[in-house]
């Protein structure tokens, strides 16, 4: 659809830059948009300020994330002006595009607005915009984009694969059910084919993505069946998945953690809060204790599993005692890593109507205390892995000559000196732990 505005015809862009904000699914979508534009013959640039077309692949999850897009647009135009260049064509993609639609055209006079389910139409939208009218497509037609994107040709050793999109959980603070729509799973066969294509294109590890990835299903099959099928693909050494909901963590998937060797011992399982009244007000439909019992079952089959979570502090009405329950839950779990946020009211969500706001300085204080506890646990987790020998997937070069960076099975960043190439799996001993990464040394086997 085109919307009237006072823009004029522009030269069709020859180069493009994609900037993705937010979650890993956005990173995946951004990669696919780049492949799509490259397939049209446009050149990818790493410098946003040198591109004819800038695609901002946006995040709507919190207010701060949303506002970033507007400051970025302003900065891009200012830089072009200072350099004496024509302003780039700007396409706003992702969840802000979905949520705000034509408002973005009005507020920021951008050229293209395209939602997360419609980006396969980017080339025609860009052509419309070049012809002089801003173009908008926020159709939520489900899954149609996947069949219309170019095949994957070259990917890094750790690749993403979207298997499921959308969310039916309606946590009261969250915009995702509105921006990404209802839960929907891509079909099993298409996913196995795409996984094989990713391995042919260079992937050694695949992370299965979905807003509720463990709700993936195709008929009778659940996510564990998909994982077991991918485990059989020659050359695919590692499988991960994210993000999961505690209530979709079914027996078959738990069992897979115990016996599928390529399924890495890492699980991102957000809990958000440790107090049952707050969890209920968030519509999480699980209790703190139910979550802890679930973790016990997972640890029973995979004792070394690294756990990760998401937390929100300062949900409306959260008292000090209720927040203390979150700290207690954190102590009980011992997370290997976690993300924590101050509650941010999102227009259109049920929680946005709640009036018993937590004061900003109280939120700041709680976030600080929570992050101190999470950092402490992350360091303790890293320290506990020292002396262990594990396989590191080499993903990129480090800053020092001869240094390479990769990931341990527990998703820790590991740096090591090695001549192993990107994509290699190297046996290393973890010898030193910093705040955000570990040092590993290549294990030299003793001669037999």
Q: Is 281 in the site for ligand SF4 (CB under 6 A)?
A: no
How many angstroms separate the CA atoms of 184 and 163, rounded? 9
Site residue total, ligand 5AD (CB under 6 A) = 12
Q: What separation in angstroms does the CA of 366 have from each of 138, 226, 312, 335?
A: 37, 40, 10, 18
Q: Which stretch binds ligand SF4 (CB under 6 A): 138-146, 172-180, 401-409, 432-440?
A: 172-180
Task: Read off the tokens for 131.
Answer: 């012809």
How many angstroms separate the CA atoms of 234 and 219, rounded? 26
Query: Which of 16, 241 has the CB closer to ligand SF4?
Result: 241
Asked if residue 174 belongs to a known ligand binding site, the reply is: yes
The interaxial angle of helices 288-301 and 320-333, nearest 10 deg, is: 10
Q: What is the DSSP string of 364-383?
A: HHHHHHHHHHHHHHHHHHHH
Closest C-alpha among 194, 186, 171 to residue 281? 171
Q: Which stretch binds ligand 5AD (CB under 6 A): 2-10, 190-198, 342-350, 398-406?
A: 342-350
Q: Is 272 in the site for ligand 5AD (CB under 6 A)?
A: yes
The alpha carbon torsion through 265, 241, 267, 246 (nearest 10 deg) reads -140
Q: Of these, 171, 338, 363, 392, which contacts ligand SF4 (CB under 6 A)? A: 171
62 binds, among ligand SF4, ligand 5AD, none (CB under 5 to 8 A by kind): ligand 5AD
Which stretches does DSSP call E strand in 148-290?
Answer: 158-162, 164-165, 184-185, 205-209, 217-218, 221-222, 238-242, 266-268
In the shown chain, the binding pattern of residues 122 to 161 toward ligand SF4, with x for contact by CB under 6 A and - for none, equals ----------------------------------------
Q: Is 170 in the site for ligand SF4 (CB under 6 A)?
A: yes
Spatial contact of 91 and 125, defined as CB atoms under 8 Å apart = yes
Q: Which stretch binds ligand 5AD (CB under 6 A): 129-137, 143-151, 198-206, 339-347?
A: 339-347
Question: Which residues 6+ apart lie within 8 Å of 200 measured at CB?
Answer: none
Q: Is 173 in the site for ligand 5AD (CB under 6 A)?
A: yes
Asked if residue 23 belongs to a known ligand binding site, the reply is: yes
Binding residues for [4Fe-4S] cluster: 23, 59, 95, 167, 171, 174
Q: Which residues are annotated as a binding site?
A: 23, 59, 95, 167, 171, 174
Residues that bind ligand 5AD (CB under 6 A): 61-62, 173-174, 270, 272, 310, 312, 341, 343-344, 346
């Amino acid at each position: 659809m085109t919307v009237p505005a006072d823009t004029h015809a522009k030269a069709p862009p020859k180069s493009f830059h994609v900037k993705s904000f937010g979650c890993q699914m956005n990173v995946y979508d951004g990669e696919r948009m780049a492949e799509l534009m490259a397939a049209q013959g446009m050149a990818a640039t790493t410098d946003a300020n040198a591109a004819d077309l800038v695609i901002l692949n946006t995040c709507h999850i919190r207010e701060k994330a949303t506002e970033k897009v507007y400051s970025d647009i302003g900065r891009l135009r200012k830089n072009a002006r200072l350099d004496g260049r024509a302003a780039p064509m700007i396409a706003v993609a992702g969840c802000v595009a979905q949520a705000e639609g034509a408002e973005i055209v009005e507020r920021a006079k951008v050229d293209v607005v395209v939602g997360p389910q419609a980006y396969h139409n980017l080339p025609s939208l860009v052509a419309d915009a070049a012809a002089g009218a801003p173009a908008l497509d926020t159709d939520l037609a489900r899954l149609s984009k996947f069949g219309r994107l170019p095949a994957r040709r070259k990917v890094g050793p750790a690749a993403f694969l979207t298997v499921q999109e959308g969310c039916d959980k309606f946590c009261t603070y969250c915009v995702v059910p509105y921006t990404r729509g209802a839960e929907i799973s891509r079909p099993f066969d298409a996913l196995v084919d795409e996984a094989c294509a990713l391995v042919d294109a260079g992937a050694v590890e695949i992370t299965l993505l979905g807003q509720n990835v463990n709700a993936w299903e195709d008929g009778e099959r659940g996510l564990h069946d998909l994982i077991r099928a991918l485990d059989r693909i020659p050359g695919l050494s590692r499988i991960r998945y994210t993000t999961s909901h505690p209530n979709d963590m079914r027996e078959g998937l738990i069992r897979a953690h115990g016996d599928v060797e390529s399924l890495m011992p890492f699980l991102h399982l957000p809990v958000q809060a440790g107090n049952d009244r707050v969890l209920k007000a968030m519509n999480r439909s699980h209790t703190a204790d139910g979550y802890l019992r679930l973790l016990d079952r997972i640890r029973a089959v995979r004792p070394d599993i690294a756990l990760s979570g998401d937390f929100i502090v300062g949900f409306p009405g959260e008292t000090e005692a209720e927040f203390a329950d979150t700290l207690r839950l954190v102590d009980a779990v011992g997370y290997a890593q976690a993300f924590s946020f101050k509650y941010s009211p999102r227009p259109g969500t049920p929680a946005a109507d709640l009036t018993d706001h937590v004061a900003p300085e109280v939120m700041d204080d709680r976030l600080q205390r929570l992050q101190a506890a999470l950092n402490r646990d992350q360091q303790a987790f890293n320290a506990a892995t020292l002396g262990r020998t594990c396989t590191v997937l080499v993903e990129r070069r480090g800053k020092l000559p001869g240094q390479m960076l990769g990931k341990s099975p527990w998703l820790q960043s590991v740096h090591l000196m090695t001549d192993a190439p990107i994509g290699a799996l190297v046996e290393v001993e973890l010898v030193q732990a910093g705040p955000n990464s570990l040092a590993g040394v290549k294990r030299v086997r003793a001669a037999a």
